[in-house]
Amino acid sequence: MGISTVAQYVTFCALVGLLAKPVGLYLLLVFERKRPLFAVEQWLYRAAGVDAAREMTWAEYARAFLVFSALGTLLLYGVLRLQWLLPGGPDSSYLTTPMTPDLAANTAVSFATTTTWQAYGGETTLRYWAQLIGLASQGFLAGGAGLALGFAFLRGFARAESATLGNFWVDVTRAVLYVLLPLALLLTAFLVWQGVPMNFAPYTHVTTLQGGVQTIAQGPVAGLEAIKNLGTNGGGFFNTNGAHPYENPTPLTNFVELLAIVIVPAGMPYAFGRATGRREAGWSLFAIMAILFVVGLVVMHMAEGAANPRLASLGVIGGNMEGKETRFGVAGSVLGAAVTSNGATGSYVAMHDSFSPVGVLVMLTNLFLGEIAFGGLGTGLYSLLMVSVVAMFVTGLMVGRTPEYCGKSIGVREMNYVALYALLVPAIILPLSALAVSLEAGRVGLTTNGGAHGLTEIVFAHASCAANNGMTMAGLNANTPFYNVTLMISMMVGRFGLAIPALALAGRLAAQRARPRNIGSVPSEGGMFVGLVLATCLLVGALTYFPVLALGPIVEQLMITR
């Protein structure tokens, strides 16, 4: 690992650590303020008929979230199906991929759940205004809804003897107005300065040095690029996403865009610690995120920094550069894969299908663990807190005490919600993957690879969608009715199936009276707590997913090195 690589990794991690506290403080200022920050906020409530002073129970909060998501899905579906009515470019002759009903439904659910799984190429499928009105708007709205859910869950631990978790409409308004919108405007300006297009010009035709004619797609790229990262969405304007030089032209834009993905989720643990009055607990959660992130980053770099054993035997030396952009190299590509697989953001700066089996194993593990380092907007925090509750429940039983976490008792009813949360994702990933492998409709998507690698591609797709991530290995042709439907099911379970038990648990915790610490309390912070949660992550993950990992990337690695 060279000096420049170490410097890039260390600088990135240091910036995340330095910015976590101020971002967490700002998030608390935004979401816990009793009165509107600016008059425009009050005007929006009046226009929508929202009583900002009225708080909601967990069930009311969940209903509002479901209605909001359903309306967003329906509106986006309408935009996609009727995009031919929209003015502006590009010319229809370039749109060679038809927006069929199943593809439109898959895409609408994808962006409304922040999954942003894309079974199409943007420059050959969508008009400019469809990308802006449809996709970019859902980047703000769905991302804001995820951040609102995170703070509602946080309040479950912070409040005592309370029947409410806040007001969903207030939370989502503030998330968009004060967090996502200003940051997106700043990032858009930065990207335009770095050379990312923001126009409505026709596609450009140029003559190459070989004498051929090349069509260069462009459009309002910077606007979508900013919110795709800040909203932990990941949907790219172009088919190759962040690997495209118009989305991500320089190593500096790559670094800043990856930082934009992480920074808001990284502030959530500190906000949790301040809100609950247990700052050490917040920093312990941040430490867990940081440890998982750094370990995965190092392992992936070691795998990608080494030559493929088959090529090394032929005298080829150097890192695995297949599918990677030379302007980013191994370091920038690995950092991108680590951030996006951990951050619920399906953007990519290299072709993951060309990563080594160990590199793919790290990304799959990040998806399987629920992207808890650092996770999506809000969702990363409550995923980690769910694992923490499991760890404290088991520990409490082992030492003969009533399980509790941050002063809240964890009883049978609470653990029912946690168990439902933990089992839903594997219960959808594994059966749907098995169905795809068993049926011709699923196997027909394996246009490039079969065997262990093909199985990994199928499992990766369902894991990515269930985690609301949207990453792809790109070796699977997923624009078929079978995959559009099954992956849509994975997305909805991963978004709504997890949000409901999380809110239900938060409602029960908020209604409890806070228990004071005593000499027998199991600490919710410090080294022992961090170790317990890390061990729980690995143990639960291994028990659930090791067999499918053994049949996929592990056996593929053994085949390469045998």
How many angstroms separate the CA atoms of 483 and 392, rounded? 39
Q: Tell me the pLDDT tens digit for each residue of 150-196.
A: 999 999 998 888 899 999 999 999 999 999 999 999 999 999 999 99
Centre a 10 Å sphere on the Cβ of residue 74 and count the other Cβ atoms it contains.
12
With a cut of 70, say whether residue 520 has pLDDT above it: no
Asked whether 464 and 429 are in contact (CB, 8 A), the reply is no
Report the range of poorest mean pLDDT among 2-16, 309-323, 340-354, 372-386. 309-323
How many angstroms separate the CA atoms of 539 and 243, rounded? 35
Sequence ranges of the domains in the chain = 19-202+217-276
Say whether 478 sits in a helix, a strand or coil: coil
> Average pLDDT in the 241-258 region?
92
Q: What is the pTM of this model?
A: 0.92
With a cut of 90, say whether residue 470 has pLDDT above it: no
Output 381 or 314, whichever has higher pLDDT: 381
Q: Residue 451: left if φ>0, alpha if ψ -120 to 50, beta else—which one?
A: left
Asked whether 319 and 307 are in contact (CB, 8 A), the reply is yes
**Residue type at 216 in one-letter notation:** I
> Average pLDDT in the 381-404 region?
83
Dihedral angle over CA of 328, 330, 332, 333, nearest 10:
100
